[in-house]
Amino acid sequence: MTAPEADPVQGASAPQSEAEVQNVAPGVKSPTGAPDAKTTFSSLSELKELDPKVYQATLKAIAQTIVNTMRRHQERLKRLIQQARRQ
């Protein structure tokens, strides 16, 4: 079974071997040299170098996703505990 490919823009997982590291293409920029919607990144550190504002926005989005997931899990756990006390 093969692992699903990660979307390079959403942050790929760390390469598993040195061969994979060598096959990772560097970020591709638009003809003007500035990153655009079609720009790909092989790592967050590369994104940080090419566009710090997008990097910060990406980190904020990741953090917000984590917070929302934790909140949903906490609410679910609270409901389960309440149901267990009623029984």
Give me the tens of pLDDT residue by residue for the chain, a chain 87 residues long. Answer: 444 444 444 444 444 444 443 334 455 555 666 777 788 888 888 888 888 998 999 999 999 999 999 999 999 999 999 999 998
Residue 58: HSE in the Cβ half-sphere, 13 Å Cα cutoff: 16
For residue 11 the two structure tokens come to 């942050």
- Domain extents for the chain? 21-86
Contact 50, 41 (CB under 8 A): yes
3-state secondary structure of 13: coil
